[in-house]
Amino acid sequence: MRRELNSSLSQSWAIQRRIIFALVMREALTRYGRHNIGFLWLFVEPMIFTIGITIFWTFTKAAHGSDLPIVPFAITGYSSVLVWRNIPGRLSNAVLPNVGIMHHRNVRLIDIYFARLLLETSGVSMSFLFLTLAFWVVEWTALPEDVLQVLSGWLLLNWFGWSMGLLIGSLSEQTEIIEKIWHPATYFLFPLSGAAFIADALPPAFRDFVLWLPMVHCVEYIREGFFGSAFVAHYDLGYVVTCCCVMSVAGFLNVNYVANRVVLQ
Amino acid sequence: MIRFEQVSKRYPLGHGQRVVLQDVNLEIARGEKVGILGRNGSGKSTTIRLLSGAELPSAGRVVRDMTVSWPLAFGGAFQSSLTGRDNLRLICRIYGKDHEDCIDFVSDFSELGAYLDEPIRNYSSGMSARLAFAISMVIEFDCFLIDEVVAVGDSRFHQKCHEELFVKRIDRSFVIVSHDTEYIRHHCDIALVLRDSTFHRFSSIDEAIENYVSN
């Protein structure tokens, strides 16, 4: 009964789309403003990060344990980091700055989360796409061998980011400890996340260990799509899907729990 | 109609919880003007948020078959880093209205001039109140919630607010929470006193006010 009166499912959906659109526009405006390049920062910002890492890894000849070309290796790796690291970060402590807007009954916590998820995913995706095309134009990288596999791997990785985001975001409203832990955890997870290595180059025992992390499977799958038969990829999509399902259900349940108890004073 | 059915609202505290409303029933009919008197911290704003649906009861049900406004002239419902115009756009998008149809009214009523394109954090309290009220009048509701009397602004502004609310929209329902007894006496049909987590009912407004003042 939270939505407008007597609303059928399709009306609810229309309202929710309207609200999410309003929030996306609001968020783009409050975050990036209309100054200089405005909302282009949405993908220019992740592009700068990724370019920086790409240059750095190129010059240090990063020991990624293979002879894969370093530029696409860095783009696929670091773009992936932005997905699983930034999305939960953006959804942490999202209630406080939105207390005002939530006085409008149809604006619910999940809409605020969806708006931020959409912005974050589209920003990182555009950054990934534009960088690949730009480096392809100057012939620093080839295009993916299997675009469809890269795309599905990217979607899977974003699903993981979204479910992680809903979980971390809602938990951060319940206890401050979550944000304090999540932030340093991203630093420890970064070197383990598959961004800077391929699993095949790791000692088997260590490889089995890092393959507990769903994002490693995603990066491996994306890179296999990119480089094809140039290396042996290690992944188990069933494992990732299972993790994402469990985390999504837990995330939605907890978002609902938090939303029903949100205090707007 | 908006109806509270055995509604309780509790907020968790560091230790234990605070009971703001305990098993209360309340019905606001279409067109009815209801005043709620209560001391600071008695639960007036909580009642408003439960009526609007921004917060949910801890127990019981809130049933409504009217559209209900957000707390009127409540500046907190806006985004301080955005301009007045962008805030109007945001509210219009949320409620599915075209802001082009509303901008003239808002600009005219708020008398903000060029400030309409300034972030509202640069506004004086009077300017914020004028903008907030003007935007509140852009979306039509069956029931308007008024949390405290518009305390800021000059008499001319008060006169304009009165005209918009109590003349042009006199057919709507109003719920006014306040500790200003005169305001409630002038604008409401009935008054309730909110004390000890429950609503106290009286046969007349005068009785309600007398009870409120003497306790």
Where residue B35 falls among pLDDT bands split at 50, 70, 90?
very high
Residues of B in contact with A101 (CB under 8 A): 77, 79, 90, 94
What pLDDT was estimated at residue B74? 65
Q: Are A102 and B54 a contacting pair at CB < 8 A?
A: yes
**B106 CB-near residues (< 8 Å, 6+ apart):** B84, B88, B116, B131, B134, B135, B138
Compute the nearest-CA separation of A102 from chain B (Å).
Answer: 6
pLDDT of B175 above 70: yes
**Would an 8 Å CB–CB cutoff place B178 in contact with chain A?**
no
- Stretch among A130-134, A228-232, B99-103, B106-110 having the lowest mean pLDDT: A228-232
Query: Which residues face B26 on adjacent strands?
Result: B4
Q: Is the pLDDT of residue A221 over 60?
A: yes
Interface of A with B (CB under 8 A): 1-2, 4-6, 15, 18-19, 21-22, 25-26, 29-30, 99-107, 260-265
The reported pLDDT for the residue numbered B151 is: 58
Yes or no, beta carbons of A104 and B94 under 8 Å apart? yes
Query: Chain B residues with CB inside 8 Å of A104's CB?
Result: 54, 70, 77, 91, 94-95
Average pLDDT, chain A: 91
Distance, in Å, from the CA atom of B117 to the CA atom of B84, rounded to the nearest integer, reads 6
Measured torsion, CA atoms of residues B44, B46, B52, B58, in degrees rounded to the nearest 10: -140
B59 near A CB under 8 A:
no
Q: Which of A34, A105, A111, A176 to substitute to test the interface with B, most B CBs within 10 Å? A: A105
Task: Say yes or no for a CB contact (<8 Å) between A105 and B86.
Answer: no
Segment B60-116, tens digit of pLDDT: 999 999 999 988 866 677 888 899 999 999 999 999 999 999 999 999 999 999 999
Contact predicate B176/B188, CB 8 Å = yes
Nearest to B94 among A1, A6, A19 (CB): A19
Lowest-confidence region among A34-38, B72-76, B84-88, B123-127: B72-76
State the angle between helix axes of A109-137 and A70-91 in degrees (0 to 180), rounded to the nearest 10: 170
Query: What are the helix (H) ranges across B77-204?
Result: 84-95, 103-110, 125-136, 155-162, 181-187
B94 touches chain A (CB under 8 A): yes
Higher pLDDT, B120 or A250: A250
Interchain contact, A18 vs B96, CB within 8 Å: yes
CB-closest option in B82, B91, B93 to A30: B82
pLDDT value for A3? 47
The pLDDT of residue A41:
87
Report phi then psi at B132, rounded to 5. Answer: -60, -45
Would you state the pLDDT for residue A7? Answer: 60
- A101/B70 Cβ within 8 A: no
The reply to whether residue B93 touches residue A29, judged by beta carbons under 8 angstroms, is: no
Residues 6+ apart with CB under 8 A from B28: B1, B2, B3, B34, B51, B143, B173, B175
Instruction: Of A155-169, A236-250, B137-151, give the lowest mean pLDDT range.
Output: B137-151
* Residue A4 binned pLDDT confidence (cut-offs 50, 70, 90): very low
Residues of B within 8 A of A29 (CB-CB) are 82, 86
Tokens 């319940």, located at residue:
A174
**What pLDDT is recorded for position B76?**
72
| C-alpha distance from A107 to closest chain B C-alpha (Å) | 8
Q: Which residues from B are below 8 Å from A21, CB to CB?
A: 93
> What are the distances in angstroms from CA B146 to CA B32, B143, B153, B212?
14, 10, 16, 19
Within an 8 Å CB–CB cutoff, is residue B66 touching chain A? Answer: yes
Mutate to test the interface with B, among A103, A108, A256 (most CBs of B within 10 A): A103
B54 contacts A104? CB cut-off 8 A? yes
Q: Answer whether residue B194 shows pLDDT above 80.
A: yes
pLDDT at B41 over 80: yes
Mean of pLDDT over chain B:
91
Distance of CA A217 to the CA centre of its chain: 15
Among A3-17, A125-139, B123-137, whose mean pLDDT is lowest? A3-17
Residue in A closest to B76 by C-alpha: A100
Confidence bin at A58 (pLDDT 50/70/90)? confident
- Give the distance from residue B177's alpha carbon to the nearest chain A alpha carbon, in angstroms: 16
Preferred mutation among A5, A17, A104 to probe B, highest tally of B CBs within 10 A: A104
In which band, very low, low, confident or very high, does the pLDDT at B142 lie, cut at 50, 70 and 90?
very high
Q: Where are the domains of chain A?
A: 41-259
pLDDT tens digit sequence for A137-195: 998 889 999 999 999 999 999 999 999 999 999 999 999 999 899 999 999 999 999 99
Percent of chain A beyond pLDDT 90?
A: 68
